[in-house]
Structure 1
Amino acid sequence: MTAPSLSHSRTNAHLFAEFVQKYTGSVYSLSSILTESSVKAEEVSIHTFAELHKSFRQDRFNPQLGPIQAYQICIRECYAFLESCTSSSEIMLCPADKVLCALRFGLKLPLSEISAVLEETPPALKAKLRRVREKMNGEIKHSYLNSTHVIV
């Protein structure tokens, strides 16, 4: 290996290390919100960056698209986990709605970034968020009315 290519390799490795350091918290937070398990969140985070490292080693890693790819890999892993188990929370959201809520309300990502991650238009995402809010409000009201004894 020649000196310039070794230097280029070290620079790229440094860039990837910076990327991992910058996005580890977000990927872990997203996976933790979605899986509701710190152990599973750690596994998902490790797998996410291992997958990205494969792209990096093959010179297919684009730092500008890195966050989107990281979130997509993380979501894919969490989605598989969510489909394999049932949630213990009272308000049941399908995995797709849970992912959308985690990105919007958990990570507080702008709709433009969520649109890129989920490959959906912002208007479609707004409609889904509105539907999820209505569903959650309805389930909260239903749960409250069923747990409250009204004395007449």
Structure 2
Amino acid sequence: MLSKAFAMGLKQTIFIPISLLVIGMSSTAVFAQLNKLYNPIPLPSTYEVADTLSDKDIPTGQGGFARDYMVKLNKGDNLAIDLSSDNFDSIVTLLGPDGTTVAENDDGPDGSSNSLLFTRITQAGMYIVRVRSFGETGVGAFKLKVTRLQPIK
């Protein structure tokens, strides 16, 4: 009787850690997949990029797509972010280090569907410049330029 109880206890003891191991492996696999799925592109040192938005980019849930670029910004930086495309109605969004929206622009002051955003950075850190199409306006080539504005002396 003792050996049967011991054997049943051993099975239960082994079963629990294996379950936890499987759960641990599953969550590790999920985190690995998330890291593969979301990988913002570092903005080149020129702070300019000519690229293409495609249906392989981040779905917005509104029929369009988005592409994210990482940029390190300093407290006090004054920025102009210019996004233009002949292929889609563009929206540019600046996301802060904590993921919140710092600023966003849909249409520039020239009356076109290009985007021009001006903002001042209040906290140093890694920011995301998100390029996206408005609604279902599509995909295609675009140009993005981030300019650090200098005060007039």
TM-score, normalising length: structure 2:
0.27
Relative contact order (C-alpha < 8 Å, sep 6+): which is higher? 2
Higher share in strand: 2
Higher share in helix: 1
Point out the structure with max Rg over C-alpha.
2
